Amino acid sequence: MAISMYQASVPAFVQMLTSLQGILKKGVAYAEQKKFEPSVLINARLAPDMHPLYRQVYIVTDQAKGGAARLCGQEPPVYPDTEMTFPDLDARLKKTIDYVRSFKPEQFNGAEDRDIQLQFGPNKVSFKGLAFLFHITLPNLYFHTTTAYNILRHNGVDVGKRDYMGTF
């Protein structure tokens, strides 16, 4: 039995976006419980040269919306990257979940062979859809979701594997 590009992408995108929502909610609750400003967590990072939590969320949402759109031959919507509070990040995640869920399986027909070009600085890089999904989009989605999880966990938020895995 073959797996479709829709099955390989949209459910994984939604799962990680939804689990990230839950992880962020635990971050809010932790800040409230410990009585510190939530922006401490929003701006937290694992190392000085890594992106802070809010940027991890931006990248996760960009991977999901960009992955779905490009696999379907569309340009992804552009978000302004101005969300700096937990409610704003949650709204961004919800908007992305709704966007990703709006795609229909038939829109992914032929996606594995679709030519996809990305701009990395001055360089344009071309991928076929299958390589784009499995070697660019999904690894980035998981990496930045994991990093957001790790930032919160490192700062004392009680999250575990079930929170990361979410519902599937």
Are the CB atoms for 113 and 129 separated by under 8 Å? yes
- DSSP string across 36-89: --THHHHT--SSTTSPPHHHHHHHHHHHHHHHHHHHTT-PPPPP-----SHHHH
CATH number of residue 79's parent domain: 1.20.120.450
- The predicted model scores a pTM of 0.96
Q: In the chain, how many domains are there?
A: 1
For residues 97 and 10, what is the distance between their CA atoms, to the nearest angstrom? Answer: 9
Domain that holds residue 47: 5-165
Q: Which region holds residue 85: left if phi is over 0, alpha if psi is between -120 and 50, else beta?
A: beta
The string of pLDDT tens digits covering residues 118-147 is 988 999 999 999 999 999 999 999 999 999
The string of pLDDT tens digits covering residues 18-69 is 999 999 999 999 999 999 999 999 999 999 999 999 999 999 999 999 999 9
Are the CB atoms for 77 and 90 separated by under 8 Å? no
